[in-house]
Amino acid sequence: TPLSHIRNFSIVAHIDHGKSTLADRLIQMTDTVAERDMKEQLLDSMDIERERGITIKANTVRIDFTAEDGQQYVLNLIDTPGHVDFSYEVSRSMRAVEGSLLVVDSTQGVEAQTLANVYQAIDANHELIPVLNKIDLPASDLDRVAEQIEEVIGIDASGAIPVSAKTGQGIREVLEAIVAHLPAPKGDRDAPLKAMLVDSKYDPYLGVVVLVRIMDGVMKKGDRIHMLQTGATYNVDRIGVFRPAMTVVDELGPGEIGFITASIKQVRDTKVGDTITHDRRRCETALPGFKPSVPVVFCGLFPVDSAEFESLRDAIEKLALNDASFSYEMENSAALGFGFRCGFLGLLHLEVIRDRIEREYDIELITTAPSVVYHIFMKDGSMKELHNPADMPDLTYVDHIEEPRIKATILVPDEYLGDVLKLCQDRRGIQMDLTYAGSRAMAVYDLPLNEVVFDFYDRLKSVTKGYASFDYEIMGYRRDFLVKMSVLVNDEPVDALSMMVHRDRAEMRGRAMCEKLKDLIPRHMFKIPIQAAIGGKVIARETLSAMRKDVTAKCYGGDVTRKKKLLEKQKAGKKKMRQFGKVEIPQQAFISALKMD
């Protein structure tokens, strides 16, 4: 296909504004898929994506379209994930295309993820086509939403296309606009091969499938290719395009998007953003690389039933095959037994992985409280990354601690603004910006990530009755007065319950934890102190009083079988107990105390 007849684009939208439905209509309207193969949300393939209505892995499809001018065009759509946790995937796929459809639900308006995603598109120099969706609904307000796009995003929305992705109204106009307004890709067919490694995924039958965008040159089956960043060399054994089913083609030329397979063993061997060239005739310069994705939230995953540890290992290894941004290492906790310390891009990423393990591998999990990565600056000048509060070094060697901060953007109807500002203030937030568009406010806050990983999102939803939208990006690290709070049960430290907190909030957190544990630990024959401490200093304390009577006392020694039965029952119950010194703590207490609810 000549370059002038190719258009590459992605769709940016807030969750639920209709991105997947619109993609379906574009595919359907152009007969890319036979009617009988059409099912809803064609591009969202994972079960969990369908259920939660989010797109996790970027997908791509090639559409043939005959425009009004009578010419045949090839349109390549890369579907990008809509959520901030996956923003590294958004930014990489954005750089493989020249334009974006900006989809806004005309009954809702611009939301936080709309902004986050549209800024990525603008960063990638995209031409934007605003699309106002859901015009079939009575609440649709085209003028208000177009005005909002101009005010909040600052782009011209006079040519915005009103559509209903549900009924198909306006879809033809969108296709024509893509051809008319988006620039054709540039590239030189005769230059040395230069292709971008956009994405890769593990397929059980084909091995690693690599999504590529050709910049210059031509790639064919059998070519010996060289990856500039990793230095690896492979033979291309399959080359094709997604329609959206994988379809083999003879070659891919400049401006084209497709896939290759090349006997690559694991997804980790493919560096997203790498430049692919021919081994014999290499291109001179590499494409600008992508920022590597770094895990920012860590937590422990333990099997509820310790016999399932090997199955958990198997599940985690399989998931990691397809997700280079998910990291893990074995962890042994006195309270929870053997498990894994896992790193995630954010909370949603954590939730998605945890759900997939529970659902696809049928393993019940204990998830420890999520913790962010702290930078511990030692007195000897070195810096340690702390992934697990239990590993906090002795304070006498520590000079200071830095924590990650985020820039949070919150859009909320006016009447809830007061509650939102208070919530941000309570979480050590610093206001960076506050603006209004119509009856909605946009608050931008500098917040510590550690205050957000607990329950910020849930609190935000509840104080705004679900009307606020929220998005964030990591800004960097800043020094603050952070301490490790340990929990002691009967004077024994319980590692799985220790956490990093800000000094000013430690008492509050400590008191809450002790109160919770007091209800969760059963009474023993003796008094049990439950304490929260910083270093050697106790900051909160509860006492679990002793049991009054022996459980067997009421048997009067007479009924031996009843006594036996009772003791047996106690024994069975003990299996699910963990011993801490003289105290037995039921597994369930850890689950409840650490639960992120």
Q: By CB neighbour count within 10 A (0-12 exposed, 13-18 middle, 19+ buried), where does 154 fall?
A: exposed
Is 16 one of the binding residues for ligand GDP (CB under 6 A)?
Answer: yes
Is 170 one of the binding residues for ligand GDP (CB under 6 A)?
Answer: no
Is 45 one of the binding residues for ligand GDP (CB under 6 A)?
Answer: no
Site string for ligand GDP, 130-149 (x = CB under 6 A): ---xx-xx------------
The piece of 15-23, 149-157, 468-476, 490-498 that touches ligand GDP (CB under 6 A) is 15-23
Site size for ligand GDP, by CB under 6 A? 16
Q: Quick check: 352 and 89 in contact, CB under 8 A?
A: no
Contacts of 447 (CB under 8 A, 6+ apart): 405, 406, 408, 424, 427, 428, 429, 430, 456, 472
Is 20 one of the binding residues for ligand GDP (CB under 6 A)?
Answer: yes
Residues forming beta bridges with residue 64, ordered by sequence position: 74
Least distance from ligand GDP to the Cβ atom of residue 236, Å? 33
595 labelled as ligand-binding?
Answer: no
Least distance from ligand GDP to the Cβ atom of residue 51, Å? 11
Q: Quick check: 104 and 145 in contact, CB under 8 A?
A: yes
Partner interacting with residue 18 (select from Mg ion, ligand GDP, none; CB below 5-8 Å by kind): ligand GDP
Is 15 one of the binding residues for ligand GDP (CB under 6 A)?
Answer: yes
Site size for Mg ion, by CB under 5 A? 2
Give the helix ranges, DSSP H, for 302-440.
309-321, 347-360, 417-426
Supply the Cα-derived Rg of the chain in whole angstroms: 28
Interactions with Mg ion, residue window 39-58 (CB under 5 A): 55
DSSP secondary structure of 47-94: HHHHHHT---S-EEEEEEEE-TTS-EEEEEEEE---SGGGHHHHHHHH
What is the maximum span of the chain, computed from C-alpha positions, in angstroms? 99
DSSP secondary structure of 207-238: EEEEEEEEEES-EETT-EEEETTT--EEE--E
Least distance from ligand GDP to the Cβ atom of residue 21, Å? 3
Interactions with ligand GDP, residue window 50-89 (CB under 6 A): 53
Partner interacting with residue 21 (select from Mg ion, ligand GDP, none; CB below 5-8 Å by kind): ligand GDP
Is 87 one of the binding residues for Mg ion (CB under 5 A)?
Answer: no
Is 269 one of the binding residues for ligand GDP (CB under 6 A)?
Answer: no
446 labelled as ligand-binding?
Answer: no
Tokens of 309: 């540890």
322 labelled as ligand-binding?
Answer: no
User: Could you say which of 8, 10, 20, 60 contacts Mg ion (CB under 5 A)?
Assistant: 20
Is 18 one of the binding residues for ligand GDP (CB under 6 A)?
Answer: yes
Least distance from ligand GDP to the Cβ atom of residue 207, Å? 29
Give the helix ranges, DSSP H, for 443-544.
449-452, 456-463, 503-520
Q: Which helix (H) or strand (E) holds 24?
A: helix 19-29
Q: Quick check: 192 and 278 in contact, CB under 8 A?
A: yes
User: Could you say which of 166, 384, 407, 524 contacts ligand GDP (CB under 6 A)?
Assistant: 166
Q: Which is nearer to Mg ion, 55 or 140 (CB)?
A: 55
Residues forming beta bridges with residue 548, ordered by sequence position: none
Question: Look-up: residue for tokens 């769709």?
Answer: 11
Residues that bind ligand GDP (CB under 6 A): 13, 15-21, 53, 133-134, 136-137, 164-166
In the annotated binding site for GTP, the residues are: 16-21, 133-136
In the annotated binding site, the residues are: 16-21, 133-136
Residues that bind Mg ion (CB under 5 A): 20, 55
